[in-house]
Amino acid sequence: MRNASVRIRIKGTGVYVEPFRAQAQPAFASTGQGKRTASMRRVSGAGPNSLVGSNVALLRQQSRQSTRTQWASGRAVDLAVTHTIGTGIKPQSLCPDPAFREAVQQLWYDWTEFADADGVLDFYGLQALAVQEWVEGGECFARLRPRRPSDGLPVPLQVQLIEPEQVPLDHTTIVTGGNSVVQGIERDSVGRRAAYWMHRQHPGEWVLGNGDSSLVRVLASEVLHLYHPTRAGQLRGIPQLSRMLVRLNDAGQYEDAEIVRKKVAAMKMGAITRKPGSNEGDPLVGEGEADATGVADVGMEPGTMLVLEDGEDVKWFDPVDVGGNFETFMRWNYRGVAASVNQLYEEVTGDYSTLNDRTFRAAFNTFKRRYAFYQHNIVAHQFCSPVWRRFIDLALIAGTLQRPPGMTDRDLYRVAWTPDRWAYIHPLQDVQAVLKEIEGGLSSRAKAVSERGDDIEDIDRQRSDDARREQTLGLAPVAPSDGGDRYRVTPSAPAPEPGASKP
């Protein structure tokens, strides 16, 4: 049914006007129907796994290509690995039994050298490579490979890293028993991961021909999956570079265009023009013969004086200079690139010209919080701790570790993962601040040492060895800054007697 069109006539005239109707305002500005928000309404409402399944294969290829060819992408990936892993996220056993704690730490130290199933890296090198795969490709898989006792390893275990391309995104089905497989990950009826379906060989590897592209089912208990889910229920990872690819491509094209413009400007090119009917012979400047297109070049050497014929003129090419806009634009653009991958602009570009130590400290504090999340909640939780638990299990089975009487598995598995310490921004001030916190009871030596990436027991053992060695050799100990006795031990004050008055 059509609505009637209502008009109002102004009294005493033949003029009609339309009545004013108040327009309802949208609940949110971005959901309005105006032209300004037209492009904002063309968005996807797909679920996390639908979005990943239809886009991540291409995103991963673009991310790897950008890392290989774009300096900013490569730098961002390198920085992500450096800040997340450094020289390694190392374990400190928290088992209540001191003897077991010391034995497992020594055994772990011996095993890390042989951790790589490919025999190329140690365990901390595997950490770095896994994080690089995660940042560049969105995720990384690893298989826990048990070995024979005859292999001669300190613990019969090795870790094999697997690129995400070997777990097919398009493998979605229902398998025997009712389990569902979505994007290569099999889950049981309550949503727990039961297995992973993997290609026997990398589908993009042609060194040995097409190879075996068949799928093999690997139990989830034997597989580690390193990725950062950004939506609830998300099964596969998204490359961290995905938010910067378009911006970085535009910046690269603009930079290339500016380089070409600079080259053209440095060549000092021009054209000799002639009036119709002027002398068409060879000019004195040394014009060569025309080529197949009828164009002749005029050579110029340093100090050349042009002598033109009647009717000839020289028009010099003068490319337009972008002035100071280039540097401003590139700095603004690469700030966005760095922010999209949670990096500092100054570290990505090496441009510290607009920075001082105070602003860098403020920016670095937020930066460290983000990477502490990556270190503890992603890498340590998804990659390091499962390896630690399997390491202890196989060490107990092999007899290289002995379970203390009455000790539960939970106690044996207790561990704290300690990343590399962050470098001091102002060493003297930073150390003094830590010492003040310890003296004021706001922190402890154990916590301060752990935040530096060290083990308090190792530090105390080394201090004791140093003191014993100096005393044995008759060396003068290094005096502490307060002038006190380096070996002084302040005894605890005895507890007051019951009923005694306070001093």
Residue 415: both structure tokens together? 């561990």
CB 401 within 8 A of CB 107: yes
Please give, one letter per residue, the 3-state secondary structure of 257-311.
Answer: HHHHHHHHHHHCCEEEEECCCCCCCCCCCCECCCCCCCCCCECCCCCCCCCCCCC
Instruction: Using CA atoms of 278, 282, 287, 291 in order, give the dihedral in degrees to the nearest 10.
Output: 90
Beta strands across the sheet bearing 185-187: 173-174, 180-182, 185-187, 193-199, 215-219
Residue 383 near residue 141, CB atoms below 8 Å: no
Question: Rounded to whole angstroms, how far apart are CA atoms 282 and 289?
Answer: 9
Instruction: Transcribe 362-393 into DSSP letters.
Output: HHHHHHHHHHHHIIIIIIIIIIIHHHHHHHHH
Among candidate residues 374, 481, 361, 379, the one with its CA nearest the CA of residue 423:
361
Per this entry, what is the length of the chain? 503
State residue 297's pLDDT score.
61
Q: CA 254 → CA 137, 176, 263, 333, 340, distances in Å? A: 26, 55, 14, 11, 19
Please, which residues have CB within 8 angstroms of residue 298's CB and are 6 or more apart in sequence? 272, 283, 285, 286, 287, 288
3-class SS at 416?
A: strand
Token couple for 470: 């100096």
Backbone angles phi, psi at 455, to 5 degrees: -105, 125
pTM for the full predicted model: 0.79
Tokens 């727990």: give the residue: 192
What is the pLDDT tens value at each position of the chain, 503 positions in all? 566 677 777 787 878 877 766 667 777 878 777 777 777 778 888 999 999 999 999 999 999 999 999 999 999 999 999 999 999 999 999 999 999 999 999 999 999 999 999 999 999 999 999 999 999 999 999 999 999 999 999 999 999 999 999 999 999 999 888 899 999 999 999 999 999 999 998 988 877 665 667 899 999 999 999 999 999 999 999 999 999 999 888 888 888 888 887 777 776 666 666 666 555 555 544 555 556 665 566 565 665 666 666 767 777 766 666 666 888 888 888 998 899 889 999 999 998 888 887 888 888 888 899 999 999 999 999 999 999 999 999 999 999 999 999 999 999 999 999 998 887 777 888 888 888 988 888 888 888 888 777 878 888 888 888 888 888 888 887 766 555 555 444 444 454 555 555 44
* Helix ranges, 112-244 (H): 123-137
CA atoms within 13 A of residue 448's CA, in its CB half-sphere: 16
Determine the pLDDT at residue 192.
Answer: 94
Q: In this predicted structure, what is the pLDDT of residue 449?
A: 85
Where helices occur in 85-223 by DSSP H, the ranges are 98-111, 123-137
Note the pLDDT of residue 305: 61
Query: For residues 235 and 193, what is the distance between their CA atoms, to the nearest angstrom?
Result: 10
Ranges of each domain in the chain:
48-243, 422-476
- Pair of tokens at residue 241: 């570079």
Residue in the structure block whose two tokens are 């006007």: 17
